[in-house]
Amino acid sequence: MGSLPSLGDQIAPVRPPQVHATPSQPRYLNRELSQLDFVDRVLAMADDASLPLLERVRFLAILGETVDQFFQVRVAGLKEQVHAALPQTSPDGMTTGEQLVAIHQRAARLLERSTSLFMRQIAPALEQHGVCILTIDHLDDADRAFLAAEFDARIFPVLTPLAVDPAHPFPYISHLSLNLAVMVRDPVRRDMRFARVKVPPLLPRFIPLADGKRFIPLEQVIALHLDELFLGMEIVSQHPFRVTRDADLDLVDEEAADLLAAIQSELRRQQRRAQVVRLEVDAAMSEAVLDLLVRELELESTDVYRADGLLDLSSLWAIYALDRPDLKAEPWTPVTQRRLQGVGSAPANIFEILAEGDVLVHHPYDSFATSAEAFVDQAAQDPEVLAIKQTLYRTSGPVSPIVRALIRAAESGKQVVALVELKARGDERANIVWAQALEQVGVHVVYGVVGLKTHAKVTLVVRREADGIRRYVHVGTGNYNPQTAQIYEDVGLLSADPELGSDVAELFNFLTGYSRQRRFGRLLVAPVGLRSNIIRLIRREAARPAGGRITLKVNSLVDPEIVEALYTASQAGTEIDLIVRGLCSLRPGVPGLSEGIRVRSLVGRFLEHSRIFRFGPNGGALEYYLGSSDLMPRNLDRRVEAMVPVVDRSLQERLGQILDIELEDDVLAWELHNDGVWAKVPTVEGVNAQQAFEQLAQARAVAGNGSAPDA
């Protein structure tokens, strides 16, 4: 089993200062409502009639997934505060109760708008193109006969109706399950009973009709045949509903002797006892049935969300997956940089390439398969490689080429270490399964550091060469997952720099053993120094007599200490540009506070995911960092994160080009105003950053040095 180092007093997380906000002019924007602002921007993409229809469907599916995660984590956390009678005030001055009320109001409007958009605009438009999502009312006799046969053959055998009466208690409603609330009447005794029918999650959500072009939601097919489930009973009413539960692991004893067993136990406990935090119901559901659900699930009225249309927009991934290229954007095929292409049919020797200089990759524009994957694959095959060490947070499991390469390396006798983060939210079960598979073939699987999540994206390869042992490293911003690498925008650095290799080796010693390493030559590592170094760099820019310059690209910016440092730098004359995909609690453009700060967000075809930091004045020496950390307390204080400096001038210029293009974008970009409102940037020049990156990647495929052609 994996070792569990207890760091004790080695790690004393820096506590952000207590910030006192005034209700009249809070210094911060609320982080929870900021997440819903991001959902609003995703909804705007779904509402963009210029996009191909199935791309609009895709954005609705992303919206559904994002809102689900928001409720099962963030809203669940707020409700825990209420139930624990631990009132807290957020940095923007809102109480827990005020936040829950505001969330309910905003989320209800989002649900209404997104459902209406699909039912009244997108679904009718799809029908015009031969993709019809029907309701029971649209079926003719032939359709009903076809569905009856489908129901008897494939659906009926896996259904289990559960009645509620004195002999049958209210059933457990599983997390994110879709169900039918059915009221039945006994024709003899005339009494009414409630029953629940779970919509089987293993069956397709949309059942194709005989022509393969028309679809009907599975729950409606079940509703059409309820009389077969409740023989001899009168079906009074039926309405779909969906439950969201708290999905955050609560490990009381993280210092358990076996963290794997502790997490497995907590997953089983959570499966049965996790609190319900949201109830979505059909808008036509009667008050009597709704009251029963609210009572039995121990909810408040503000936990209920009515939908006049399809429940669970995340299920629209099934519609997006239809083979209709005419209704989708032209697919992007990642390219291989010229330096990584090799000669003829022979693949490039990555170790020889890195001996000549570092390589920067930008996914999904640059191929993940011919860079990060090839790096691990060649290390697994190379007889001179002695050891491979890698952190794994989210991956596609045992079928992943990287995991298969690690297995081959272990089977060939190499020292292989995989640090598997069992607490990766949503992937706990999957990570347990393939961690055990790795252990069975001799991979040394380590489950991280007690009290911390390991979120760093780092690989170390130790190779025997003519002049001695040499280390090769990969440090990135995204997970080692070939699937998400095709849709997430990320950057990564491949390097043979000796000092960086030494740092990464020390980081793995810290993660797998009892190292007390607190200083690194190149790496910035959380929680032992990343926060203090970021603040040092911000203050350095603030102290420049001629005015400093800071550009930060992150997914989230909510850490109060970092926000305050940026406010102070702005007041000192520092020009600050922030590219924040999602959460942002900083309020920009406030006179006397943050007038030198600009905040923008890009929402496009690919999910902006990279973290890139740039410090230094225009025309001066610049410092660039990339890595895994967002600017949140959890990243800086409660996770192991790694940010690496990029020192090669040509690669610095390429990172600068990425930032500058995103700052010039006026097609995908939104701007945050000082009143907390996000507004779409007017399109004037027509700069689409993601299309520009595709063009640059194609140019790099024929350029000689792997940098942008004009860098």
Q: Map out the domains of the chain as residue ranges.
A: 27-121, 125-252+276-320, 338-512, 525-700
pLDDT reported for residue 345: 75
pLDDT reported for residue 431: 63
CATH says 525-700 is which class? Answer: alpha beta
Q: How far apart are CA 7 and CA 446, in angstroms?
A: 15
> Across the chain, what does the average pLDDT equal?
88
Q: How far apart are CA 584 and CA 579, in angstroms?
A: 10
Q: How far apart are CA 618 and CA 612, in angstroms?
A: 17
> Choosing from 104, 362, 455, 609, which is the catalytic residue?
455
The strand pair at 206-208 and 192-198 is best described as: unpaired
Q: How far apart are CA 612 and CA 630, in angstroms?
A: 10
pLDDT reported for residue 263: 46
Q: How far apart are CA 379 and CA 398, in angstroms?
A: 18
* Same fold yes or no, 338-512 and 525-700: yes
Does residue 118 contact residue 310 with C-beta atoms inside 8 Å? Answer: yes
Query: Shortest CA distance to 612 belongs to which of 594, 632, 634, 628?
Result: 628
C-alpha dihedral sign at 267, 273, 274, 278: positive
pLDDT classification of 28: cutoffs 50, 70, 90: very high
Q: Mean of the pLDDT values across residues 245-250?
A: 72
Q: Catalogue the E-assigned strands of 124-177.
A: 132-133, 161-164
Look at residue 22 and tell me whether its pLDDT is greater than 90.
no
- Is 455 an active-site residue? yes
pLDDT reported for residue 274: 80
What are the backbone dihedrals phi and psi of residue 626, each rounded to the nearest 5 degrees, phi first?
Answer: -135, 155
Query: Shortest CA distance to 136 belongs to which of 124, 144, 128?
Result: 144
Does residue 379 contact residue 461 with C-beta atoms inside 8 Å? Answer: yes
What are the backbone dihedrals phi and psi of residue 325, each rounded to the nearest 5 degrees, phi first?
Answer: -60, -25
> For 30-54, how does the pLDDT look when each residue is reduced to its tens digit (9 = 90+)?
999 999 999 999 999 999 999 999 9
Does residue 51 contact residue 45 with C-beta atoms inside 8 Å? Answer: yes
> Where would I find the H helices in 197-349?
218-224, 226-229, 259-273, 287-296, 317-320
Does residue 74 contact residue 32 with C-beta atoms inside 8 Å? Answer: yes
- Fold topology of 125-252+276-320: polyphosphate kinase like (3.30.1840)
* pTM score of the predicted model: 0.89
338-512 has CATH 3.40.50.300 classification: no
pLDDT reported for residue 62: 97
> What does CATH list as the number for 27-121?
1.20.58.310
By percentage, how much of the chain surpasses pLDDT 90? 73
Does residue 571 contact residue 593 with C-beta atoms inside 8 Å? Answer: yes
Look at residue 12 and tell me whether its pLDDT is greater than 90.
no
Look at residue 13 and tell me whether its pLDDT is greater than 70.
no
pLDDT reported for residue 7: 33
SS (H, E, C) 1-63: CCCCCCCHHHCCCCCCCCCCCCCCCCCECCHHHHHHHHHHHHHHHHCCCCCCHHHHHHHHHHH
